């Protein structure tokens, strides 16, 4: 999504001074009311930032994915976690196939403005395409991996072609 494609009357940016840890309001682009947008630093990661999805109630880390600017805008606008699929090179509304969407409850921004934590409500109880509740379902134990996660669904039944 190019800037020109965004609805003019719903779009303005809060510029952030990257040199300080405090936000600094500079003149806004755009004219309208509507939602405002925190500007993140997508440059360091060549257009992508890592995003940690965390269960908003239990604090469990569910997955890590990436966002480009378009994903970020769409996530804020829709309230549903929307990532950028590096393998498919496409916008990825989490759960669009499985139904296991993530409703965003809070967004935390890191000190460098280049990483996010999304506190989410995970629909369907599982974030991982393998059917486990969290993608981090294995623990390193004495040089091997031990499965500690809980399997919520059978991926063969969910991802049918």
Binding of a second copy at residue 107 (CB under 8 A)?
Answer: yes
CA angle, 117 then 122 then 127, to 5°? 85
Member of 71, 98, 100, 115 binding a second copy (CB under 8 A): 115
Binding of a second copy at residue 21 (CB under 8 A)?
Answer: yes
Binding of a second copy at residue 38 (CB under 8 A)?
Answer: yes
Nearer to a second copy, 101 or 149 (CB): 149
Q: Which of 139, 58, 126, 72 is nearest to 97 (CA)?
A: 126
Binding of a second copy at residue 78 (CB under 8 A)?
Answer: no
Task: Give the whole-angstrom CA distance, residue 28 versus residue 92.
Answer: 29
- Count of beta carbons in the 10 Å neighbourhood of residue 101: 19
Binding of a second copy at residue 158 (CB under 8 A)?
Answer: no
Of 1-9, 77-85, 90-98, 139-147, the segment contacting a second copy by CB under 8 A is 139-147
Nearer to a second copy, 123 or 130 (CB): 130
Phi, psi for 71 (deg, rounded to 5): -60, -45
Count of chain residues binding a second copy (CB under 8 A): 44
Task: Give the whole-angstrom CA distance, residue 78 versus residue 76.
Answer: 6
Task: Give the whole-angstrom CA distance, residue 81 versus residue 123.
Answer: 11
- Count of beta carbons in the 10 Å neighbourhood of residue 134: 22
Nearer to a second copy, 29 or 86 (CB): 86
- List residues binding a second copy (CB under 8 A): 14, 16, 21, 23, 35-38, 44, 50, 52, 54, 58-61, 63-64, 76, 86, 106-112, 115, 117, 128-130, 132, 135-140, 142-145, 148
């Amino acid at each position: 999504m190019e800037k020109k494609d965004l609805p003019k009357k719903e779009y303005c940016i809060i510029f952030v001074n990257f040199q300080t840890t405090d936000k600094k309001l500079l003149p806004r682009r755009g004219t309208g009311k509507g939602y405002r947008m925190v500007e993140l630093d997508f440059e360091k990661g060549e257009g992508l930032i890592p995003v940690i999805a965390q269960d908003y109630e239990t604090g469990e880390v569910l997955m890590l994915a990436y966002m480009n600017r378009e994903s970020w805008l769409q996530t804020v606008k829709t309230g549903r976690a929307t990532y950028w699929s590096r393998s498919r090179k496409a916008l990825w509304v989490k759960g669009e196939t499985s139904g296991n969407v993530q409703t965003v409850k809070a967004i935390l921004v890191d000190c460098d403005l280049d990483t996010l934590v999304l506190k989410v409500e995970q629909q369907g109880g599982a974030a991982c395409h393998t059917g486990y509740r969290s993608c981090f379902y294995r623990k390193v134990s004495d040089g091997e991996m031990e499965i500690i996660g809980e399997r919520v669904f059978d991926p063969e039944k969910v991802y049918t072609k």
